[in-house]
Structure 1
């Protein structure tokens, strides 16, 4: 076990700070970011983005990967992803607009923004609710959502070729394996099995 792993393990569990379980609708909204959350420290079933309290990691990730260091930059990035995001380039190249890629990033950034205190819990939920109509109006299943997420990721990776960030993304095989695990009906921990696609179209309920 590495020193960083030991330090992370010693941090309090996020469930202690946020003990109330999500409703069915809330879990579905959080699950929009599931394709992005491959790290073992990530939480896929809470609004807080990690299993243990780690506000610094949320802040550092936003700064290093997104150049987001303020509330204004966070809200501007969310607005950009909701309006056009990376799917505008995909539409030009392929004639297809993979909303799922932008929606997953949008949900991930909103959760990280909440995780480091740039936005409140209520504001994070409002941000997630704002993206729901477009997602529901575009896809009919988590499978369709996953397919378009991978398409958007491919276009994004191709755009990094020849730049200093070309080696940054995880291998495509890792993304493929992660999506297969999320879609596997036998995976009881998958948020997509805990909150099936049609969950958001029915009245909300406690879990």
Structure 2
């Protein structure tokens, strides 16, 4: 019952995100599949749980300090897993790295490693490269799945599992989640609430 006593993220941060903010947060929507995930707040969880965020960063990414968080974000922004994909396929799926980058930034904020302002700055830093690479959420989703496949294959290769995020969900689960996010009839999908092109226009409240 203790988890139900934790405040909802939407109550701790009641001001709705602007369209640009929701778009940035939604870059990590493919990663946050579970029922505890929040897709419409900067905080990555529906209920405030700093300890859970800290454990997740430590277990999945070996991040326990602000410096380690900054190092991981810099790697994902500059090189990331797409370097491996480019070497294998001649394609650099930025979307996979961008989704992880935003997810880690949000969890770093939840864990208290960075401030809210720092988290938004980190998210804004990734926008030009992502918006300049893709023209739709469909294109973004396609490259996300490509990057995820290369990453999964790397985990199965000798030595490929070192310092990698934890055991992945089956590919079918990721595929179904992406289909749900892209479904025009899904009113809860953040990709429908913040269509791709909103980032190319002046920001406004939702």
TM-score normalised to structure 1 length: 0.95
Identify the residue that residue 64 of structure 2 maps to in structure 1. 69
Aligned partners of 1:203 and 1:122: how far apart in 2? 20
**Alpha-carbon distance, 1:164 to partner:** 9.0
Counterpart selection for 1:58 from 38, 44, 53: 53
* Partner SS, residue 12 of structure 1: coil
Cα RMSD over matched residues? 1.4
Identify the residue that residue 184 of structure 1 maps to in structure 2. 183
Aligned partners of 1:27 and 1:161: how far apart in 2? 35
Identify the residue that residue 78 of structure 1 maps to in structure 2. 73
Identify the residue that residue 203 of structure 2 maps to in structure 1. 204
Aligned partners of 1:47 and 1:178: how far apart in 2? 20
CA contact (8 A) 2:19 2:205 kept: yes
1:13 aligns with 2:13: no
* Partner SS, residue 33 of structure 1: coil
Structure 1 unmatched ranges of 5 or more: 1-5
* Partner SS, residue 87 of structure 2: helix
1:99 aligns with 2:94: yes
Q: Which runs of 4+ in 1 moved over 4 A?
A: 162-167
Q: How many residues align?
A: 202
Taking the TM superposition and a 5 Å limit, the aligned residue runs for 1:24-173 are 24-162=19-157, 168-173=167-172
Structure 2 unmatched ranges of 5 or more: none
